[in-house]
Structure 1
Amino acid sequence: MRIHLTSVFVDDQEKALRFYTDVLGFLKKNDVPVGTDRWLTVVSPEDPDGTELLLEPDGHPAVKPYKEALVNDGIPATAFAVDDVPAEFKRLRDLGVRFTQEPLEMGPVTTAVLDDTCGNLIQIAHSS
């Protein structure tokens, strides 16, 4: 069994697509109209046939309070692996990305947390 698809709820799919591709560096995989929304997925350029991230509209009434509670408590919606957290932190900060947690070493793991501009906190992490 493998993870094929996971999702992050976004408040604006087009804005999310720009952020996740132009800023974070993912590649658009699928973009299929589904009513007023889209089946919109991105993938890592390092594994274009790997796990897809669905940029899922946050229109369900339960989603916005859930997202707000996570953000208010500083809890990331998901985490992405990077090779070097301090380097990625600097690259993204130089692009104007807002971080809620600067790089933090916790034993063998280093993390940082960013705001994806679409209502979520996202953790970047690497293990040494």
Structure 2
Amino acid sequence: MAAASSNLESCDAKEATNRVAVRLREQIGDISNILLATLPGIEEEVLDCFSAILPNERIFGGSAADNTDAGEWSLLSEDGVFSAILSAVGLKADVSFGSCLLPPYEKRDQLAKITKCEGRFIYESL
């Protein structure tokens, strides 16, 4: 297991992702899973960059976003707590890992049907 981060105040998302990927590989070599956290708004760009650099790794996590637009989120890294950082933990294949999403869910009578999407983006629903 290895941790790496890159400050987004000094570089763009692509450069930050490259720095993090290089540091993770230097520390543990082959990576099987990545636990990721970054700023809201650049998640898809970071995922695309990781997919180009480390195409076979599974990525879990993504955004530090919450239910407000205040921009007061914080992210943990090996160097401390920051507001503008890309932070990741890399796991080798021999580390057992699983995930389960348990959001605060209340069953409702309302249903929606997605009528137009592309990849992970929903453009239209009923």
Tell me which interval the TM-score lies in, with the shorter structure as reference length. Answer: under 0.3
Rg larger in structure? 2
Q: Which has the higher strand share?
A: 1
The alignment's TM-score, normalised by the length of structure 1, stands at 0.27
